């Protein structure tokens, strides 16, 4: 009887070890097969906005229930009013293979499909204002500036803390200029302010071109 029990325990242990190896292998394979976002554009064939930074940030946050909804609010604006829009994503995997993903307006991007580099991943404490307190944690419906970038793709300045300091009550209004943000991160280029924010329990994003006014919510 003891020998039978010992054999059963050994069999169970072998199964568990096998399952563990299988799970680790599957996890490693999923990481290898994951896709890094190279570029993302939202709009129509002729009217499109570069939403690479916005999408990376939303994916890094895990979306809502593991998905990022595709609409004018989350993509930072409407590049083609009245038209059916598409989110196009150019991505690469660990083998440097390229692939294009397309999702219609109103659809969802599954977060688990994409890997996010360390520099794109959210630091929870970096997303909180210096005076963050328990009372603020309860005020989930208020305006929260999660991320703010100013510049063009590849040449941006993190202006998160500056934009946070401009919030008055539950709103913020400011002119998007080089002077406002203390310098020009991309001389000669048309720059954009990208803001990822939370309001009334939802996360959204907006993109405001240089020379225009940011008004939230």
In this prediction, residue 115 carries a pLDDT of: 85
pLDDT at 122 over 50: no
Question: Residue 119: CA atoms inside 13 Å, Cβ hemisphere, count?
Answer: 5
Whether the pTM exceeds 0.85: the reply is no
CA-CA distance, 151 to 64, in Å (whole number)?
27
Render pLDDT for 136-190 as a digit per residue (tens, 0 to 9): 443 457 899 988 989 887 788 889 999 999 999 889 999 999 999 989 988 888 8
Q: What is the DSSP letter of 183?
A: S
**Residue 72: closest CA among 44, 100, 110, 34:** 44
CA-CA distance, 32 to 42, in Å (whole number)?
27
Calculate the CA dihedral of residues 157, 163, 164, 166 and round it to 10 degrees: 150
pLDDT at 200 over 70: yes
In the chain the first and final C-alpha atoms are separated, in Å, by 72
Render pLDDT for 7-31 as a digit per residue (tens, 0 to 9): 444 444 443 334 343 333 433 444 4
Position with higher pLDDT, 38 vs 26: 38
Render pLDDT for 50-95 as a digit per residue (tens, 0 to 9): 888 889 888 887 877 788 889 887 888 888 889 999 999 999 998 8
**Residue 167: closest CA among 152, 146, 191:** 146
In this prediction, residue 217 carries a pLDDT of: 85
How does residue 117 score in pLDDT terms, banded at 50, 70 and 90? low
Calculate the CA dihedral of residues 65, 136, 54, 153 and round it to 10 degrees: -150
In this prediction, residue 98 carries a pLDDT of: 93
**Burial (CB count within 10 angstroms: exposed 0-12, middle 13-18, buried 19+), residue 37:** buried
Q: Supply the DSSP string of 75-143, one letter for each residue.
A: TBS-SSTTS--EEEEEEE-TT--EEEEEEETT-EEEGGGEE--GGGS--GGGGS-TT--HHHHH-TTS-
């Amino acid at each position: 009887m003891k020998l039978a029990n010992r054999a059963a325990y050994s069999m169970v242990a072998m199964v568990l070890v096998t399952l563990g190896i299988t799970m680790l292998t599957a996890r490693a394979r999923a990481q290898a097969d994951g896709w890094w976002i190279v570029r993302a554009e939202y709009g129509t064939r002729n009217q499109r906005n570069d939403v690479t930074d916005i999408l990376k940030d939303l994916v890094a946050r895990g979306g809502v229930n593991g998905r990022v909804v595709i609409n004018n609010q989350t993509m930072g604006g409407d590049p083609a009013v009245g038209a059916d829009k598409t989110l196009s994503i150019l991505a690469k995997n660990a083998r440097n293979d390229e692939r294009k993903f397309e999702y219609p307006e109103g659809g969802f991007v599954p977060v688990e499909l994409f890997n996010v580099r360390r520099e794109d991943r959210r630091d929870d404490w970096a997303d909180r204002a210096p005076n963050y307190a328990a009372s603020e944690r309860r005020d989930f419906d208020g305006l929260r500036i999660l991320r703010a970038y100013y510049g063009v793709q590849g040449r941006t300045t993190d202006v998160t803390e500056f934009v946070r300091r401009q919030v008055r009550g539950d709103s913020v209004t400011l002119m998007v200029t080089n002077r406002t943000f203390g310098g020009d991160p991309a001389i000669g280029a048309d720059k954009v302010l990208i803001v990822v924010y939370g309001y009334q329990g939802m996360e959204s994003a907006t993109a405001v071109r240089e020379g225009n006014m940011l008004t939230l919510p």
